[in-house]
Amino acid sequence: MQNEPVQIIRKIIHIDMDAFYASVEQRDNPEYRGKALVVGGLPQGRGGVVATASYEARKFGVRSAMSSKRALQLCPDAIFVRPRFAAYNEASQKIREIFSRYTDLIEPLSLDEAYLDVTNDKLNVGSAIEIAKQIKQAIKDELQLTASAGVSINKFVAKIASDINKPDGLKFIGPSSIEDFMERLPVEKFFGVGKVTAQKMKQMGLHTGADLKKLTEDELLRHFGKTGKFYYQIVRGIDNREVQPHRETKSLGAEDTFAYDLTTLEEMEAELDKIALTVYNRLIKYDLKGRTLTLKVKYSDFKQITRNQSFPTAFNDLETINKTAKQLIAATNTEDARIRLLGISLSNFGDAIPKQKAERPAGPGDQLALEF
């Protein structure tokens, strides 16, 4: 008989700023307040991508990672502005300073969100809910911005909780409520469940956490590989990942598994267009530039290869990402190829100019670092 996993009890807060870039713009530019505002690439010319949108624009269906041209179609009266990362970085540093009043266990996920472990807080407040209230109020008083907070005993549940009452929300999910909450959660909301896995789960009749919970750990492992162990634990509200104050981003990217195999270069390039948009948006969100772009290709027989190209200067513009990925796919033998997955990632965010890696088939440990 297998030993059942046990949840380590911590006091975890997940803070997520509300429409951060757009809120900073509306704070600094009174003429934008109450207006549908889109921060990102401009829709003119080749167009760009939405980094974030104000809540006024979101009412029209405008979302992050959407093309700016599509955003303009949905919201013709929207105001488009380019990002001002210096302003966002400054606000982010001030927010981090507020966090540090309560704990040194801070794990930033981006400029606008972070995990805090306040199990033993520096001010001896004791209550994670009270700390979350104080942090939200300090952000409002000192920066004229709003944040939403999720409070729970682990990172997974705290992150989901922070999204429930947005904007300017606070949601606590306590130990006695977690299993019921997880049972009602749709499978697509689970950490690590992408659209292909969610589709597979639904085809198996697995729509909610309660459905997943009916399967044994062995059954989940059989259907979903090693990730099945994670599903088995998380559906029971168990997530023992620690808050990591010094986590370093080494690569950032995105990938997609297709419902049918791609057989033509045109199909491959069309899918790379979509993946490149996602990668670009994530780079902008995290204010990152990389020097090495890696293309990941998995074929219908599950053979996997990676191809990469390095540059002397760091970049994060959509044109370079798109062009480089297409050059790399064209350099592979696409004739008679049947491709089931494509991925793009950027790495080498440091100052050193990386060396070009030799082309090789990818090993089992090669995977893209995704934003989860």
Q: Which residues are annotated as a binding site?
A: 16, 112
Determine which one of 25, 56, 107, 113 is catalytic: 113
Q: Tell me the C-alpha to C-alpha distance, in Å, between residue 320 and each of 289, 292, 323, 339.
A: 12, 11, 5, 23
CA-angle at 160, arms to 155 and 164, nearest 5°: 145
**Contact 199/221 with Cβ under 8 angstroms?**
no
Helix (H) or strand (E) holding 221: helix 217-224
**First vs last Cα of the chain: how many Å apart?**
33
Name 15's Cβ contacts closer than 8 Å, sequence gap at least 6: 95, 99, 113, 114, 116, 132, 135, 136, 147, 148, 149, 162
Active site residue 113: yes
Work out whether strand 170-172 and strand 290-299 pair parallel, antiparallel, or are unpaired. Answer: unpaired
168 dihedral zone (left: phi>0; alpha: psi -120 to 50; beta): left
Rounded to whole angstroms, the maximal C-alpha distance in the chain is 65
Instruction: Tell which residue, 164, 176, 144, has the closest CA to residue 14.
Output: 164
Provide the annotated binding site for Mg(2+).
Answer: 16, 112
Which residues does the annotation mark as catalytic? 113
